[in-house]
């Protein structure tokens, strides 16, 4: 029998992130982008590691510095990344990991590769939520490549459905919810809380509708929110604010700011509802 194929790593970071209102790949944990974090993690276990990108993303700032594999198919989601990787390096097995899995650590991935069965199409974890295979933190063997190609040729897109129908080794996650992903500012905030981040102290000002709904003009608070986007998700929950982030502007220290600026202790933050001067 031949030796098992070498494992290459592929970070999936092509998603549009509509609900996060930002490029997911650039979300920060510990001052590091998720993309960087995932890439570093895979690099520890894999012979070579790449990031998966769409054609239009090859030059963007968050991605340009990494070795890339460019999608061949458009608009079919994560399976395009897996297919492109298998096409470019057909001899390799691919450890695929979505960049939005902040709870996946080195232990999780070492367990996955230790349990790997190269004679099957893939080795994957069972979802904690529904026991179905989790395709985006899994090892895809070279022998799955032909079937992936056919799957796409038949206009199928869903990598999970693919694994449900394939010969796959399914593992129980060594740590419950290790594969929970982060799609919204709320989930990002929960992830930061679960990681026991040190809180920072902020001063928040409330105006107009927010002042009335919060019942105060200002407050000082401790939070693990590292950006205005995360802070708003927290306050929205606390006070039942109904305005959505994309209807607002935000100011840090009395100047307009980006929603994903990094907040520092003692910053003054104000959320600006739709204005109506004149």
Longest CA–CA span in the chain (Å) reads 79
Q: How far is the CB of 2 from another protein (least distance, A)?
A: 35
Question: Residue 244, interface with another protein (CB under 8 A)?
Answer: yes
| Window contacting another protein (CB under 8 A); options: 48-56, 191-199, 219-227, 247-255 | 247-255
Whether the CB-CB separation of 171 and 128 falls below 8 Å is answered with no
Question: Residue 129, interface with another protein (CB under 8 A)?
Answer: yes
Task: Give the per-residue SS3 of 94-130.
Answer: EEEEECCCCCCCHHHHHHHHHCCCCCCCEEEEECCCC
Q: Among residues 239, 251, 260, 261, which is the contact residue for another protein, using CB under 8 A?
A: 251
- 232: number of Cβ within 10 Å: 23
Residue with Cβ nearer another protein (133 or 142): 133
Question: Residue 132, interface with another protein (CB under 8 A)?
Answer: no
Residue with Cβ nearer another protein (66 or 162): 162
Whether the CB-CB separation of 81 and 69 falls below 8 Å is answered with yes
Question: Residue 192, interface with another protein (CB under 8 A)?
Answer: no
Q: How far is the CB of 154 from another protein (least distance, A)?
A: 21
Q: Among residues 120, 161, 211, 260, which is the contact residue for another protein, using CB under 8 A?
A: 211
DSSP track, 226-256 = -SHHHHHHHHHHHHT--S-GGG-EEEETTEE
Q: Among residues 209, 237, 258, 264, which is the contact residue for another protein, using CB under 8 A?
A: 209
Q: Hunting for tokens 């994560």 — which residue is that?
A: 78
269 burial class (0-12, 13-18, 19+ CB within 10 angstroms)?
A: buried
Residue with Cβ nearer another protein (92 or 163): 163
Question: Residue 242, interface with another protein (CB under 8 A)?
Answer: yes
Q: Within positions 151 to 190, which residues make up the interface with another protein, using CB under 8 A?
A: 181, 183-184
Residue with Cβ nearer another protein (56 or 244): 244
Q: In angstroms, rounded to a whole number, what is the distance separating the alpha carbons of residues 250 and 229? A: 9
For the beta sheet containing 249-252, the strands, ordered from the edge strand earlier in sequence to the opposite edge, are: 218-223, 200-205, 268-272, 249-252, 255-257
Q: Among residues 57, 144, 205, 227, which is the contact residue for another protein, using CB under 8 A?
A: 205
84 burial class (0-12, 13-18, 19+ CB within 10 angstroms)?
A: buried
Size of the site for another protein (CB under 8 A): 27
Q: How far is the CB of 145 from another protein (least distance, A)?
A: 24
Question: Residue 255, interface with another protein (CB under 8 A)?
Answer: yes
Q: Which residues bind another protein (CB under 8 A)?
A: 19, 129, 181, 183-184, 205, 207-209, 211, 242-244, 247, 249, 251, 254-256, 270, 272-278
């Amino acid at each position: 029998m031949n030796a098992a194929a070498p494992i290459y790593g592929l970070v999936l970071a092509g998603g549009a992130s509509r609900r996060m209102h930002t490029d997911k790949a650039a979300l920060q944990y510990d001052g590091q982008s998720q993309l960087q974090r995932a890439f570093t993690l895979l690099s520890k276990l894999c012979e070579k590691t790449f990031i998966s990108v769409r054609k239009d993303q090859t030059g963007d700032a968050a991605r340009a510095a990494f070795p890339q594999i460019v999608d061949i198919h458009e608009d079919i989601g994560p399976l395009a990344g897996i297919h492109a990787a298998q096409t470019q390096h057909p001899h390799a097995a691919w450890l695929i990991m979505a960049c939005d899995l902040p709870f996946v650590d080195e232990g999780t991935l070492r367990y996955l590769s230790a349990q790997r069965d190269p004679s099957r199409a893939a080795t994957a974890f069972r979802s904690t939520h529904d026991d179905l295979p989790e395709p985006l933190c899994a090892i895809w063997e070279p022998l799955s490549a032909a079937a992936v190609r056919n799957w796409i040729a038949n206009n199928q897109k869903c990598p999970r459905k693919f694994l449900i129908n394939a010969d796959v080794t399914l593992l129980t996650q060594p740590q419950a919810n290790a594969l929970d992903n982060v799609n919204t500012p709320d989930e990002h905030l929960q992830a930061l809380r679960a990681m026991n981040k040190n809180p920072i102290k902020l001063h928040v000002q409330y105006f107009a509708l927010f002042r009335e709904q919060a019942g105060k003009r200002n407050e000082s608070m401790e939070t693990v929110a590292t950006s205005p986007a995360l802070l708003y998700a927290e306050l929205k929950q606390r006070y039942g604010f109904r305005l959505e982030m994309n209807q607002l502007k935000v100011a840090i220290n009395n100047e307009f700011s980006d929603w994903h600026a990094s907040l520092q202790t003692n910053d003054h933050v104000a959320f600006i509802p739709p204005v109506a001067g004149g």
